């Protein structure tokens, strides 16, 4: 009996077994390591540091300086211990004199300027705060929903391909599975809001569920478009179908295959922003009207779990966007040199590439968050049902037609990529590609130009309410 999830776990198991551990135990440890490594080694650190970068980006975008935590408290603490029997003013005076030493002031100035102390301070604060539950709260749900929030985010990583060799599993219906587990966010948020015994929390939970249920539709449609184009619902298959030999491997990425895929990428990203409760769709925690939204009553580490779940969702969305449209873990400058590496090295390089893409996406989300104000609930609903869903449907039909027309010219092929070969896919040759971009892209540009000239300028929603004209 052997446990294995691929060559990476095999190599680790043989290395552990070489230390004198029984083979079965070594295999189990190796599989557990491969399963836990993405979450513990990638998601947790990024989520921990992301709060700092979020605040820094916020400060920079608003012409502030962002976090600038000094080390004053730490220096004071050290001198309190060192000069315990001195009067307090003498201890403080000595600490200030120490801080004014040239080298010390330079180092402390850097720490203060970059605000690095806030990372540690946040962590310490989160662990030390009292864990409280409000009176009248449903304790089981109140405590359980924090774990459920994490569960939804982390279950998605079970099928998430970090490399050809580095994943927990690759079910042929991974896309369906993702749609199912990412919906768990709504459940946890609703449970948290309901069990808090607080009307503001409850409003936050209800808003979040209304929004997430609406945005599941465009997400499912855009995933369907990608699956249709790749001919498979397996994430490894989708990535394999984007393989393009040679140094110019960007040419294989789904984003550039067809204007419809580019359109659906935008639809997916906007809908996924809403799915992880990110600004400008963070209605569930609209602090200006709902105090803290669904996590108003949570403190300390329980709040931290929600927070980590949010950032895990962001990383997941970034990774899925990369998987579906940006070639997944494939590098933008040729793949052959990576695939020829030994499995562990290849896994490391591919993971680094995918994490880089996901982190870029997280950065973009921060940029968006500190640019756009929060939407109203009716604006959110209108955006989903009157804009994103029709756009996704148009892309679905448009891409189907494109595929049929292209297939009659080029036929279907199978792409061999490392361990995987793709399902039979339509791969446009240069002529079909140029024609599709020229025709569809030209039509889009023409439509936009016509709309700018002849389209009725959109009336503000308040005017519609007052005049009763042009109601959607």
Partner 1 sequence: MSILGWVREIVDGVQSTTTGLGLTARFIWENVTDKKGHGNAMTIDYPVQPAHVPDGFRGHLFNDVDRCTLCKSCQRACPIDCISMEGELNENAKFRISRYDIDLSKCIYCGLCTQACPTDCLTMTKGYELEPKNLVNGRGGRFLFRMRADQTKVKLDMLEVERLNRLTAQDPSACTDDDRAFLSRIEDPEKGQFLFARYGMGYYTPEEKAKVDQARADKKKAREQAAAQAAQLAAEQAAQQSDKAPGTAGT
**Could you give the angle at which helices 139-156 and 174-182 cross, rounded to 10 degrees?**
150
- For partner 1, the closer of residues 227 and 270 by Cβ is 270
Binding positions for partner 1, rule: CB under 8 A: 57, 59-65, 68, 87, 89, 113, 367-368, 370-372, 386-387, 390-391, 447-448, 450-452, 454-458, 470, 472
The minimum distance between CB 52 and partner 1, in angstroms, equals 15
- For partner 1, the closer of residues 260 and 420 by Cβ is 260
The minimum distance between CB 218 and partner 1, in angstroms, equals 14
Distance CA 100, CA 141 (A): 52
The minimum distance between CB 57 and partner 1, in angstroms, equals 7
- For partner 1, the closer of residues 4 and 386 by Cβ is 386
The minimum distance between CB 395 and partner 1, in angstroms, equals 13
Distance CA 411, CA 404 (A): 9
And the tokens for 214? Answer: 């609406």
- For partner 1, the closer of residues 53 and 433 by Cβ is 53
- For partner 1, the closer of residues 127 and 367 by Cβ is 367
- For partner 1, the closer of residues 3 and 370 by Cβ is 370
- For partner 1, the closer of residues 84 and 89 by Cβ is 89
Query: Phi/psi at 413 (nearest 5 deg)?
Result: -135, 165
The minimum distance between CB 102 and partner 1, in angstroms, equals 15
The minimum distance between CB 113 and partner 1, in angstroms, equals 5
- For partner 1, the closer of residues 59 and 171 by Cβ is 59
The minimum distance between CB 387 and partner 1, in angstroms, equals 6
The minimum distance between CB 75 and partner 1, in angstroms, equals 15
Distance CA 352, CA 56 (A): 24
């Amino acid at each position: 009996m052997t446990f294995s999830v691929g060559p990476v776990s095999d190599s680790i198991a043989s290395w552990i077994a070489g230390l004198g551990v029984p083979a079965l135990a070594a295999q189990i440890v190796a599989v557990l390591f491969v399963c836990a490594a993405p979450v513990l080694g990638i998601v947790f650190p990024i989520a921990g540091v992301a709060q700092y970068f979020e605040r820094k980006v916020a400060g920079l975008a608003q012409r502030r300086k962002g976090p600038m935590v000094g080390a004053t408290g730490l220096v004071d603490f050290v001198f309190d211990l060192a000069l315990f029997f001195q009067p307090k003013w003498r201890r403080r005076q000595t600490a200030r004199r120490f801080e004014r030493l040239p080298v010390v002031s330079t180092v402390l100035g850097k720490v203060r300027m970059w605000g690095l102390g806030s990372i540690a301070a946040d962590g310490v604060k989160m662990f030390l705060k009292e864990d409280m539950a409000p009176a009248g709260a449903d304790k089981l749900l109140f405590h359980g929903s924090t774990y459920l929030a994490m569960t939804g985010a982390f279950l998605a990583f079970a099928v998430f391909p970090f490399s050809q060799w580095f994943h927990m599993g690759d079910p042929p219906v991974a896309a369906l599975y993702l749609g199912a587990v990412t919906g768990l966010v709504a459940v946890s948020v609703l449970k948290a809001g309901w069990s808090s015994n607080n009307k503001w929390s409850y409003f936050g939970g209800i808003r979040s569920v209304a929004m997430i249920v609406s945005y599941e539709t465009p997400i499912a449609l855009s995933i369907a478009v990608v699956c249709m184009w790749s001919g498979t619902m397996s994430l490894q298959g989708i990535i394999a179908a984007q393989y393009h030999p040679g140094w110019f491997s960007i040419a294989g990425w789904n984003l550039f295959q067809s204007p419809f895929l580019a359109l659906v990428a935008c639809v997916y990203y906007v809908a996924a922003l809403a799915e992880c409760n990110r600004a400008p769709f963070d209605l569930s925690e609209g602090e200006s009207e709902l105090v803290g939204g669904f996590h108003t009553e949570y403190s300390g580490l329980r709040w931290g779990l929600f927070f980590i779940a949010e950032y895990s969702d962001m990383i997941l969305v970034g990774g899925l966007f990369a998987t579906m449209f940006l070639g997944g873990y494939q590098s933008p400058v040729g793949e052959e040199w990576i695939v020829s590496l030994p499995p562990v090295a290849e896994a490391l390089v591919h993971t680094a590439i995918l994490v880089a893409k996901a982190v870029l996406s997280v950065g973009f989300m921060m940029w968006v968050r500190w640019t756009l104000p929060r939407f109203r609930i009716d604006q959110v609903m209108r955006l989903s049902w009157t804009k994103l869903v029709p756009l996704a449907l148009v892309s679905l039909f448009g891409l189907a037609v494109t595929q049929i027309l292209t297939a009659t010219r080029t036929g279907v092929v199978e792409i061999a990529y490392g361990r995987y070969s793709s399902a039979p896919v339509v791969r446009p040759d240069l002529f079909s590609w140029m024609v599709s971009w020229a025709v569809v892209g030209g039509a889009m540009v023409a439509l936009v130009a016509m709309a700018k000239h002849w389209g009725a300028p959109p009336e503000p929603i308040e005017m519609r309410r007052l005049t009763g004209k042009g109601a959607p």
